A and B are shown apart, each in its own frame.
Chain A
Amino acid sequence: MEAKFLQLHFSQLQSEWATAKYNNYSDLRKREYHEKLSKIISLLEAEDISKFSPLEIKQRFYVVFFLFKSLEFLNNSTSSSMPFEIVAVLEEALNDWIPTRDYIIVTSLINNNIGFSYDTSLMLMDFIYKEIEILYGIKFEKRLIQINVPNSTARDYLASVVLYHELGHFIDRKFEISRVLYIEILSAILSGKLSAGEFNDIVKYFPYLANINLVKWFHANYFPGNKFENHIAEYLCDLFGSQYIGEYSNRYVSYLTCDEATDNVTHPSSINRSSFIMDFLTGNKKYLVEKYKQTVLLITKEEIKSRAESFKSEDFENFLPVDIDRPQQLHFLFAYGWKVWLDDWNKMRAYNNLNFDLTQEKVYSIINGLIEKSIGNFIVRTEWAKQASAIS
């Protein structure tokens, strides 16, 4: 690796940093993370790249990559670019699984209106954090959870149900649940001890596992990103998300994929994904769902269960935000919003004595606004109560 290329790479970073260094975050954790990036860049600037050995150049390549990647997400994670309300609710979900606040959820707004995804780059390159500590003595106590969000729907609380699925990818990677499920399922088939019903349940969701030679091949050739591994992970993340938002994420994804009946390398068919979630939500004790639940419990010590606390309300139909009392109710706001959206909107018209028909654009705006305000009010009331009681 030539030093000149690293110099170019670093110059590109400096150009980016010229603007990014003025980013202003409401979240103290992001500010602290940002300050550490600033220190690393200062230390990099003080180094003489032209005298680096090939190994040193490679080390710095990863450092610059890390800085770019961090900025890519931090730049789009100010409270003005991504609603803090959505992030706060996702953090509540995260807290169910990792109680210590070791992570910061950050988002990158991308120009793809269905481009929800979890970015694994920094998680898969954990060595970078260690390398930075060795090279520059800077330790990151908090890591980033990077989620790509479509720019066009960043403030869309209905589409945001998909983000629970993406958070599921982080939990999966963190605990390596799919890795274990991969072996468990294949071993169960190869053991020959499955009942016909159990085997059929597996084949329903992984049709290619009907071929025993393929089962043996997968068993002998594990690698992240193979079709079976991908599919296991997708089902897991669907399951994870459905704990919080029921069936709505999958219904939305089914629409986005035109109810795709066939799978591909990265995703199972939409029909199967919906069916799998319904096995869980309806309480059917199907083999595969139970296998997932047992494995998750074993690894994380946390249970797969419905985690959104439901409430009865017609506040949205009355054009009012909901008074949320407990964090677990926050998740149910999304399901409630979807329920109202999928309704015929007659209640809205009747309850508010409307003399005109509501346009879909107006209903969309009202539901999004009311979900946002319900979450915002909960945050405000909680913060106020905490500090007001401490002062008085």
Chain B
Amino acid sequence: MNILKNELQELLKSQRLVIKPLLSNDQIGELTIDFRLGYNFLVTIQGKNPFLDASLNSNDQFPTQSLFQETRRMLGETFLLHPHQTILTNSLEYIKFPDNVYAELSMRSSYLRLGISLSALVQPGYTGCMSLELTNLNKVPINLTVGAPIFQARLYKLGESLNYFSKKRKYMCQVRPIVSSVAEDSDLKVLNAIWRQANYIDTKSP
């Protein structure tokens, strides 16, 4: 069930929903909450490694981190998003969601029209700045302002509560963007073991 403005304000008042900082109450809309572009960015660079490795099959592991470089801005400064570039950034706001509320994220209409895409889900109980993977689908660079409300969250209530910390989380309480921890996925380890066995490589786990 979509949570509407009155209930959003109740959640904020009771501090079951935490948004720090909430610079303007106007961010709380009838159906959505607007969130702002943060000041930390991870951008891909031309590194020694030839590709972003989402597999454990390579003998040489290519750490994802080595292909990203961090850059920071101050509030009000800008960040130039190049055509077809994907960057990692996060929301200016640090949030804590109730255990029975999740959110769907999308760009605000004004930014969708510029050609930036975003599609993400925030789970119940999530705590931290929201991670944003922004891609410029346009053919021209887009200059973004740090602190501008660029995306929105539509919040939904579940019939029951879920414990976000019922299992170990790769991303928790993050305040800066973090590169993909895909190599830590347990499924990849299993798939790698299958591949190793099929190729008579060495049956020990990596």
Q: A-side interface residues toward B, CB under 8 Å?
A: 26, 79-80, 84, 318-321, 323, 352-356, 362, 365-366, 369-370, 372-373, 376-377, 379-381, 383-384, 388
Contacts and interface: CB of A to CB of B under 8 A. Distances in A.
Given A352-B127, A380-B21, A384-B23, A366 B75 contact: no
B73 interface: yes
A24 to B, nearest CB: 10
Contacts of A377: 20-21, 94
- Main secondary structure, interface of A, reads helix
A79 B18 contact: no
B78 to A, nearest CB: 11
User: Shortest 10 CB-CB distances between A and B: which pairs?
Assistant: A369-B175, A26-B74, A373-B175, A354-B165, A79-B72, A366-B173, A319-B127, A80-B72, A377-B21, A80-B71
B175 A372 contact: yes
Contacts of A355: 163, 165-167
A79 B129 contact: no
Interface string B54-98: 000000000000000011111111000000000000001010100
A16 B51 CA distance: 32
28 contacts: A26-B73, A26-B77, A79-B72, A84-B72, A319-B127, A319-B128, A319-B172, A319-B173, A320-B18, A320-B20, A320-B94, A321-B20, A321-B175, A323-B20, A352-B165, A353-B163, A355-B163, A355-B165, A356-B168, A362-B172, A369-B128, A369-B173, A370-B175, A377-B94, A379-B75, A380-B21, A380-B92, A384-B75
A318 B96 CA distance: 10
Given A79-B74, A355-B166, A383-B75, 9 more contacts: A79-B73, A318-B96, A319-B172, A320-B20, A354-B165, A356-B168, A373-B129, A380-B75, A384-B23
Interface residues of B, number: 31
Contacts of B128: 319, 369
B74 A84 contact: yes
Contacts of A79: 72-74
A362 B76 CA distance: 31
B154 interface: no
A366 B94 CA distance: 13
Contacts of A388: 23-24
B145 to A, nearest CB: 13
B55 to A, nearest CB: 25
A353 B23 contact: no
Interface in B85-132: 92, 94, 96, 127-129
A373 B94 contact: yes
A366 B74 contact: no
Interface string B10-42: 000000001011011000000000000001000
Contacts of A381: 21, 23
Contacts of A362: 172
B88 to A, nearest CB: 15
A75 to B, nearest CB: 15
Given A353-B165, A381-B21, A384-B23, A319 B96 contact: yes
Interface in B126-154: 127-129, 147
A318 B173 CA distance: 10
Contacts of A323: 20
Contacts of A319: 96, 127-128, 172-173
Select the residue from A318, A352, A362 with max chain B CB neighbours within 10 A.
A352
Select the residue from A352, A365, A369, A380 with max chain B CB neighbours within 10 A.
A380
B2 interface: no
A26 B127 CA distance: 29
Contacts of B172: 319, 362, 366
Nearest to B168: A356
Nearest to A323: B20
Contacts of A370: 173, 175
Contact of A369 (B20, B75, B174): B174
Contact of B176 (A26, A356, A369, A380): A369
A383 B176 CA distance: 20
A375 to B, nearest CB: 11
Nearest to B69: A80
B189 to A, nearest CB: 18
A352 B23 CA distance: 26
Contacts of B20: 320-321, 323, 373, 377
B165 A380 contact: no
A377 B24 CA distance: 14
Contact of B23 (A318, A320, A373, A380): A380
A84 B73 CA distance: 10
B69 to A, nearest CB: 9
Interface string B169-205: 0001111100000000000000000000000000000
A356 B167 CA distance: 7
Contact of B70 (A80, A318, A366, A369): A80
A384 B25 CA distance: 13
A356 B23 contact: no
Contact of B96 (A320, A366, A376, A383): A320
Contacts of A353: 163, 165
Contacts of B72: 26, 79-80, 84
Contacts of A369: 128, 173-176
Select the residue from B71, B74, B92, B96 with max chain A CB neighbours within 10 A.
B74
